[in-house]
Amino acid sequence: MSDLKTLAEALKNGTYSRVVFMVGAGISTGAGIPDFRSPGTGLYANLSKLNLPYAEAVFDIEYFRQSPKAFYTLAGELYPGKFLPTKFHYLIKLFEEKRLLRRVYTQNIDTLERIAGVGADYIVEAHGSFAANHCIDCDAELATELLKLDMEDELVDGIPVCRQCGGYVKPDIVFFGEGLPDRFYDLWEQDCKKTDLIIVAGTSLSVYPFAGLPAAVPRRTQRVLVNQERVGDFASSPRKVDILALRACDVIADELAELCGWADELVELIRKGKEGHEAKNTDKGVGTKEEEKEEKEREKEKEEKEEEKEEEKEEVERVKTEDEPDIDEIIKDISKLKVAEKELAPTEK
């Protein structure tokens, strides 16, 4: 707690004004989303029923090409809309409102930073998210509404397919075997040099290159670890001035907000967030499903009309071909008529 008090004083007196958060699944467990690697409770542990060759195969692009069902079984548990941001997500939003936030680098694909209201320019989704979806073959984009409908459609076995080429569609989540977004590297090159405080929270720091970021910041940069245990560079190469807050992320969010004098503001942010979520759901209600159904029906009608036009075009070409006179045959017929006329004509005496 003493280290947190020191941190809080520094935040209040303006010592730090360019704060970078690095967050992982641990900040979302309070929302009901299991993390990936906790023994017995992590997402990987819950995938045993799918008979995967290895747990990480669910996020392997080559395995997805062969068997996308595993990923979409997991995606159904993680899809945005089911979960609300945690206190720690709103703490990040509070840093933005206090003009202390420079960036938040997240390994999470749950988009809860966005839902908490953090501005898009501040967020770097290092491992992608469900915000957009593309065909893995032709790269055509599929609207999120249609992706969700396909996930619920037994006719396609719950696997979204491309309307253009029939290939599998995948949310823009970075799988093993795929590169991280250029935005991740471009912004980190700037942020690494300019941040004066980095807060690492809820991550095992086991997946690179993300895991290497805390070690890359200059030694003058204050580092804070919010986690249940020491991880990564905080365990292997700790710095004397590192601040370790080895407790649950939401607990630390409460403690830090209290020490900074922001507790009421954090509570208000959470209240507004919940009210906004409830209002949004009330406005949509059953209409959401109806709108999605109508959208799919419109898409189907459009495809059927295009098919009808193509069939009509083919029929016109066929009829046109059948009706076109054969010049060679006409010439032959004329020749035959002339011969016949000569044979029938009276012989001159």
**Crossing angle of the two packed helices 249-260 and 87-97, in degrees rounded to 10:** 40
Q: Is 260 annotated as a binding residue?
A: no
Instruction: Name the nearest CA neighbour of 104 among 129, 78, 130.
Output: 129
64 is in an annotated binding site: no
Residue 192 annotated as binding? no
Using CA atoms, how far apart are residues 59 and 56, in angstroms rounded to an integer? Answer: 6
Query: Does 134 participate in catalysis according to the annotation?
Result: no
**Is residue 206 part of an annotated ligand binding site?**
no
249 annotated ligand-binding residue:
yes
Question: Is residue 203 marked as binding?
Answer: yes
Catalytic residue, chosen from 89, 127, 134, 277, is 127
Is 38 annotated for ligand binding? Answer: no
The answer to whether 108 is annotated as binding is yes
Determine whether the annotation assigns residue 48 to a binding site: no
Query: What's the distance, Cα to Cα, between the start and end of the chain in Å?
Result: 137
Pairwise CA distance, residues 88 & 167, whole Å: 38
The reply, when asked if residue 25 is annotated as ligand binding, is yes
Give every CB contact of residue 135 below 8 A, 6+ residues apart in sequence. 141, 142, 162, 164, 165, 167, 168, 169, 170
The reply, when asked if residue 97 is annotated as ligand binding, is no
228 is in an annotated binding site: yes
CB 44 within 8 A of CB 266: no
Residue with tokens 């407790």: 247
Least Cα distance to 227 among 214, 218, 217 occurs for 214
CA 126 – CA 275 distance, rounded (Å): 29
Number of H helices, E strands in the chain: 13, 8
Please check if 51 is assigned to a binding site.
no
- Bridge partner residues of 134 (DSSP): 141, 170
- Using the structure block, give the residue that is written with the tokens 């006329």: 341
Cis check for the bond before 209: say yes or no (omega within 30 of 0): yes
**Does 13 show up as a binding residue in the annotation?**
no
Distance CA 258, CA 335 (A): 107
User: What secondary structure does DSSP assign to 75-144, as a single string?
Assistant: HHHH-TTS----HHHHHHHHHHHTT-EEEEEE--SS-HHHHTT--GGGEEETTEEEEEEEETTT--B--H
| Active-site residue list | 127
Binding-site residues for Zn(2+), please? 135, 138, 162, 165
Binding-site residues, please? 25-29, 35-37, 107-110, 135, 138, 162, 165, 203-204, 227-229, 249
Binding-site residues for NAD(+), please? 25-29, 35-37, 107-110, 203-204, 227-229, 249
